[in-house]
Amino acid sequence: MTDNLTTRSGTPLAQAARDHLWGHFTRHSVYEPASAGGLGLDVPVIVRGQGHRIWDDKGRSYFDGLAGLFTVQVGHGRTELAEAAAEQAAKLAYFPLWSYTHPMGIELAERLASYAPGDLNRVFFTSGGGEAVESAWKLAKQYFKLTGKPTKTKVVSRSIAYHGTPHGALSITGIPAAKAAFEPLVPGAMKVPNTGFYRAPEHLRDDEYAFGQWAANRIAEAIEFEGPDTVAAVFLEPVQNSGGCFPPPPGYFERVREICDDYDVLLVSDETICAFGRIGSMFACDDFNYVPDIITCAKGMSSGYSPIGAMIASERLFEPFRNGTTSFAHGYTFGGHPVSAAVAMANLDILEREGLNQRVVEKSGAFRAQLETLLDLPIVGDVRGAGYFFGIELVKDKQTRASFDDAESERLLRGFLSKALYEAGLYCRADDRGDPVIQLSPPLTIGEPEFAEITGMLHDVLCRASELV
């Protein structure tokens, strides 16, 4: 790769990005020149990927510690997936799943149903995770209308959890700052505490099981407060991403399942990140032994080589749609796109053939052990996660667990860490949607040498960060 890659018009890529591209969740001022009040940072332009490494337009390479965006399970540069896409595009590039079907959509639906637990046999395709969450809320509402409980419409989810950006999914999202600009959102979405054990109420900090029961019981409480006749569904990630990887305490999902059954409320397992080996199983509800009523998933299904998502529903939820004139009047032009479905099939072939899920199960402990060596640093308060999915929480004072205030967090994360990690050669996420955390979610292909490499880069940068605070 050479310096100064340009667009067709001859404009340097970074310049054309500054002039024309509108980044998602991007603060554009950082790329504006200092004379215009910006920070004058280079626009990162990623031009190539191979395995767990990516390259920018200047020829520098980085460790992809986030698998793009929790997505590239099998690593970059798999020509097999590109070939699957080309073959399908040549045969049937596009057809919708609106009353018609196509072979790849059918085969992928059958395969996902075979991986899903219980009788979650019905697959509704979307283009991504937020659309899957949106679809699940709409299905829950219509299901109860069709089965004689029309007032069951509300939903429960957890604080700081991210569930996507469509209006409904954003209502379910528990990050006030991500929602404020778009209020009023869809009404009827309540929030309950998440399972961040490091920040558990003082009296529960020594007993993870008791904390899990407490957190689960807050769901029952929210349902009681709102009125069980008004609540349709609970949306939970197996391991909550936003906030920095909150795994479920032992017994948590057993209790949640019990509560959902008692109140006839649907349990939606939002596995947009956690499915397809990220925690070790195809569906992470299997990692934590619960059977939801709906799974939502996306990202790792195709390892991001082509966009696709899905809502997978139980037989019970499909039953009212079997007969008569009823339909689920909802859909997306690109839901279950034939090229994406073909890529997903080939991607799942790789996960199975190379035993990547098993690899995650076997090596997750070694990954965690490496990362836990960072706990020696004064700024590292907690290392947590599951599978190949970890969060490292940064604190001002380890003894008291005191976190940084907003201004300090801004200086630490945006002012120093994001840039320093990237310059050190590690692409990952420094996030302060909850307390400040560094998040890791690398391709599932890596092993011990790469765990050490990631930890080494983090160690150097966090040592410097410790001196700054």
Ligand X SMILES: Cc1ncc(COP(=O)(O)O)c(C=O)c1O
Residue ranges that bind ligand X, judged by CB under 6 A: 128-130, 133, 162-164, 237, 241, 270, 272-273, 298, 309
Q: Minimum distance from CB of 281 to ligand X (Å)?
A: 16
Nearest residue to 272 via CA among 315, 304, 249, 305:
304
The nearer residue to ligand X, 274 or 420, going by C-beta atoms, is: 274
Cβ pair 276, 301 in contact under 8 A:
yes
Q: How far is the CB of 461 from ligand X (least distance, A)?
A: 24
Nearer to ligand X, 384 or 396 (CB): 384
* Bridge partner list, 383: 392
Compute the chain's Rg from CA coordinates.
22
Q: What own/partner pairs with CB < 8 Å and gap ≥ 24 does 136-139 have?
A: 136/233, 136/235, 136/268, 136/294, 136/296, 136/311, 136/313, 137/168, 137/169, 137/172, 137/186, 137/232, 137/233, 137/235, 138/168, 138/328, 138/330, 139/294, 139/311, 139/313, 139/317, 139/328, 139/330
Of 301 and 420, nearer to ligand X (C-beta) is 301
Min separation Cβ 236 and ligand X, Å: 10
Smallest separation (angstroms) from ligand X to the CB of 464: 29
User: Cβ closer to ligand X: 163 or 255?
Assistant: 163
**71 versus 409: smaller Cβ distance to ligand X:** 71
Q: Are 173 and 164 in contact (CB under 8 A)?
A: yes
Q: Which is nearer to ligand X, 38 or 166 (CB)?
A: 166
Return the number of the residue (169 or 462) whose C-beta is nearest ligand X: 169
What's the closest the beta carbon of residue 227 comes to ligand X, in angstroms? 27
Which residue number is nearest to ligand X in terms of Cβ? 129
CB of 297 to ligand X, least distance (A): 9
Q: In a 10 Å sphere around its CB, with 0-12 CB exposed, 13-18 middle and 19+ buried, how is residue 140 labelled?
A: buried
- Collect contacts of 375-378 with beta carbons under 8 A, ≥24 apart: 377/459, 377/462, 377/463, 377/466, 378/466
Query: Is the distance from CB of 446 to CB of 52 less than 8 angstroms?
Result: yes
Tell me the closest approach of the beta carbon of residue 264 to ligand X, in angstroms. Answer: 24
